[in-house]
Structure 1
């Protein structure tokens, strides 16, 4: 499968597969967010997910995929540092602010920085039409955040800190998107990077979550947390794995923008599964997000 995937790089078939992978990543990222939404302490949820990531990825890394080339070890170290900082910022933002406000700000900030990063690192250039699409998509995403901020009940005292953390998290999203794209292109077998990355990257947060759980007076039961962590880890493997493969097959900036349609999927999941009210204004904003993604894709 690795040889087949590598052979598609830079081809029309690779472009179409990258498009499908980016959209799959968007859908799964929305599912991933819904699994953590408002039910479990975000630090504990992330710790449970990452513990399972290590358990699931270790056999693949140690016994299935080819061994990493020597030059990959520093790249793994850099990826782990970036992703740990991202997780710390994300958990801090979710702790201080409402998910429905923080999530769109993170997802809206990420693609803008990622497109700039793709230009600086990979020399990718967006057309004027694609920049217009980015503008439409960002208008929809930040409009959704503003709508939630105005009409939903949020904690106003901690909101400024939550929004600042959300913007910082979006910057880290762009950083890990471009860094991971560089790293996965640096190895002959992309699945080698994925397996070893998930194993290394999941080793930090479980210890932080365990420390936090022990300090709680009335911590959640472990069995449901472990079960939720397993589901989240499986979703994370396919979500983050899909976007990383997409950035190897095709342009990093386009994949980053298309992934942010996860905001649309998140709203649909909230409506269909969580029985949340969507309303005409939010539908209009979601149409803008989808339209922006289509403009970016068609304008390339």
Structure 2
């Protein structure tokens, strides 16, 4: 993995943290997610004429990935209904990189060095360490834990599926654009059928948030799909999950929340993991 690609992934992580912070607007969380993903789909439609269609060989994986992404879009806000952002998000994101490394080994035959694997493990532990910030980990709701782990499984599953699909698609950006169109529309349709009143209310009151969040969402994921096509999936996933650390920094410096000891531990582990994950030895 080159330094340029690593910086791109870190940019995607920052964008991901930003749109997740924006999704905390008032209103039903599922409805907010639906509006943000719909905005991302509409923006993706504007990019459609400028990209090649993915090769038919990748269509089955594309369809599977759309379904997994859609599941993720519902598991995450439901988890937030049962637990705090500071508890749910680190568990969901931190559990993914190791699962991705295992999935990439099984389905794509990817091998990474022991040192790089240790780096990915440090990244995961560093991300999940934020769960202990403020001493709240022991109070986490069991339903929040279950849905957070299910979200982590979805993240790992769609990461491996996207990596395989992007490599088969011929056009990496074409695959990414069709992916964000499909999962955004499907998420919105399901949410609209189940929570029409809430979706309409959020759409009326949060137009700017929806458009900005949708732009950051698709921008971040187009970068990640490109990275998955050219770099080891476990490394990409590990770097991407630094979004949790970016979220902690946002809450500390913009929202003026306390930078506790676990945030310091997390920052050290993530930094150490970043260094190790780029090792080729």
Matched, 1:45 2:32: yes
2:32–2:202 CA contact under 8 A, matched in 1? no
Give the structure 1 partner of residue 174 of structure 2.
192
Deviation of the 1:221 alpha carbon: 5.4
Determine the C-alpha separation between the residues in 2 that align with 1:222 and 1:286: 36
Task: Give the aligned partner of residue 124 of structure 1.
Answer: 110
> Does the alignment pair 1:135 with 2:117?
no
Match of 2:211 in 1: 230
Given the alignment, which residue of 78, 90, 106 partners 2:92?
106
The residue number in structure 1 matching 2:271 is 290
Residue in 2 that maps onto 1:115? 101
CA contact (8 A) 1:264 1:290 kept: no
Are 2:240 and 1:255 aligned?
A: no
Q: 1:298 to 1:40 in 2, by over 3 A?
A: farther
Name segments (4+ residues, structure 1) moved above 6 Å: none
TM-score (norm 2): 0.91
- In 1, the alpha carbon distance for the partners of 2:105 and 2:57 equals 24
1:43–1:208 contact (8 Å) kept in structure 2: no
TM-score by length of 1: 0.85
**1:221 to 1:21, Cα distance in 2 relative to 1, 3 A:** closer
Change (3 A) 1:115 1:204: same
Give the SS at the match of 1:51. helix
In structure 2, the residue matched to 1:5 is: none
Residue 151 of structure 1: how far off its partner (Å):
4.1
Structure 2 residue matching 1:276: 3-state secondary structure: coil
Residue 165 (structure 1) aligns with:
147
1:58 is aligned to 2:45: yes
> Residues of 1 paired with 2:138 and 2:106: CA distance?
40
- For residue 25 of structure 1, the aligned residue among 1, 9, 12 is 12
- The 3-state SS of whatever aligns with 1:71 is helix
CA separation of 1:202 and 1:221: change in aligned 2, threshold 3 A: closer
Deviation of residue 295 (structure 1)? 1.4
Cα distance between partner residues in 2 of 1:132 and 1:212 = 43
- The answer to whether the 8 Å contact 1:113/1:174 transfers is yes
Q: Give the C-alpha shift of residue 79 in structure 1.
A: 1.5
- Comparing 131-140 and 88-97, the one that deviates more: 131-140
CA deviations over 1:249-270 (Å, ceiling 9, x no partner): 2111111111111121111111
Deviation digits for residues 216-262 of structure 1 (CA, Å, limit 9, x no counterpart)? 5x985543322211011100111111111111121111111111111
Contact 2:177 2:222 in 1 (8 A): no
Alignment-derived partner of residue 74 in structure 1: 60
Q: Alpha carbons of 1:292 and 1:38: their partners in 2 closer, same or farther (altered >3 Å)?
A: farther
- Secondary structure of the residue aligned to 1:125 is coil
Instruction: Return the index of the structure with the highest Cα Rg.
Output: 1
> What secondary structure sits across from 1:204 in the alignment?
helix
* Shift, 1:96, TM fit: 1.3
Match in the other structure for 2:225: 244
Aligned residues: 281
